[in-house]
Amino acid sequence: MIYLDNAATTRMYDECAQIADKYNRELYFNPSARYRLALKAEEAVKKARAVIAAKLGADEGEIYFTASGSEADNIALLCSLRRKSGRVIVGAAEHSAVYQCACELERRGYEVVFAPVTRCGAVDIAAFSALLTADTVLVSVMHVCNETGAVNDLKAITSLVRKKSPRALVHSDGVQAFGKLPVNVRALDVDLYSVSGHKIHAPKGVGALYAKKSVHLSPFVFGGGQEKGVRSATENVAGICAFAKAAELIYPRVDGCAEGTEKGRAAAEEYLKENIDDIVIISERGKCLDTFLSLAVKGVRGEVLVHVLDDMGIMIGTGSACSSHSSNKRIPKVLGLDEEYWDGMLRLSISDMNARSDLLEGCKALVDAIKAERKYAKK
């Protein structure tokens, strides 16, 4: 089996699975209870919060644990605004969690505008700058595009916001960046930043939101008052502790295979270009993470190719797993792809658990599948 859909989710580290098992079966106690073993669970959550805060360059009191990166995005966009009107600027290629929240804000009366992106999915800085106004209340631009791996220059973006729209809050969906790029929320000068566990080899069902101390969040889930009243619910101790462990483990492991990843990514791209006509490589080297290889192929259906490769024991994606079941063509449209390429958009993504040869082997199988599909279509 070759797994090439790590941008959708990752296999849990063994060390994280062991921690999750410990807090699910041994120290399974509710952190809000007051007996000694429950206090140990409470202390474990506190330590995990400190780990995530340190990895983000934040203070412990600025970290809110959530059930996912999507939930963190929802809290950031829907619970942070104090003004009841104004402009909201969102990157046109944002994850559906941010995009749908922006649509909800528009229904609530805010003026929502979408910042154009380049062919590889990064926000066009000049076009973004032109959208900033004095009445802008919120900006949300992802750190790394989940569809293409394009890296946005967040520091440049926040600098423009502080200069032209000083009253605006800046949020970034960092789900695809955390664990792959160094992240320091102070240096980036963001007000809100979302991360997720299952993208970095932690369990599904846990994420976190950084919110600067000056940002007031209204309650998202009402109940017992956990997470400073923003997200009430009994804490997912096992997931939170495993998330913190993954955050400690991932950077040394990713850094250790960086050179091989870069070479493997280059070799895979060259193989595709040499062997397939009418192909667009969306993930541009130097502008996108080397763990992504997003492409679009003319005259084929991505879903068909996914099933063909699945039968061969190779798993790839057609794009964000959160939107792959939708007929929405928003992403290929905003990337400027010609319509005949829309159905053939594919995403291959690797992690530190992949062998160096996996990406190239997957591309070789993909080339064979594309040739077979085109031959069949001509009959």
Tens digit of each residue's pLDDT (9 = 90 or more) over 206-254: 999 999 999 999 999 999 999 999 999 999 999 999 999 999 999 999 9
Give φ, ψ of 194 to 5 degrees: -105, 140
Which helix (H) or strand (E) segment holds residue 198: the answer is none
C-alpha angle with apex 131: 93 to 193, nearest 5 degrees? Answer: 50
Q: Chain centroid to CA 338: how far?
A: 26
Residue whose token pair is 């106004």: 133
Is 363 an active-site residue?
no
**CA dist 284 to 266, 367, 368, Å?**
10, 19, 23
Q: Long-range contacts of range 280-287, CB-CB < 8 Å, 24 or more positions apart? A: 280/337, 280/341, 282/119, 282/120, 282/121, 282/147, 282/148, 282/335, 282/337, 282/345, 283/120, 283/148, 283/149, 283/150, 284/119, 284/120, 284/150, 287/118, 287/120, 287/122, 287/150, 287/151
pLDDT at 327: 46
Point out the catalytic residue in the list 79, 241, 322, 363. Answer: 322
C-alpha angle with apex 44: 39 to 46, nearest 5 degrees? Answer: 95
- Say if residue 379 is exposed, middle or buried (CB neighbours under 10 Å; 0-12, 13-18, 19+): exposed
pLDDT at 374: 84
Kindly report, residue by residue over 2-24, the tens digit of the pLDDT.
999 999 999 999 999 999 999 99
**pLDDT by 10s per residue, the chain, length 379:** 999 999 999 999 999 999 999 999 999 999 999 999 999 999 999 999 999 999 999 999 999 999 999 999 999 999 999 999 999 999 999 999 999 999 999 999 999 999 999 999 999 999 999 999 999 999 999 999 999 999 999 999 999 999 999 999 999 999 999 999 999 999 999 999 999 999 999 999 999 999 999 999 999 999 999 999 999 999 999 999 999 999 999 999 999 888 899 999 999 999 999 999 999 999 999 999 999 999 999 989 999 999 999 999 999 999 655 554 544 689 999 999 999 999 999 999 999 999 999 999 999 999 999 998 887 766 5
pLDDT at 299: 86
pLDDT at 320: 55
Q: Which two tokens stand for residue 262?
A: 């870069």
Give this prediction's pTM: 0.96
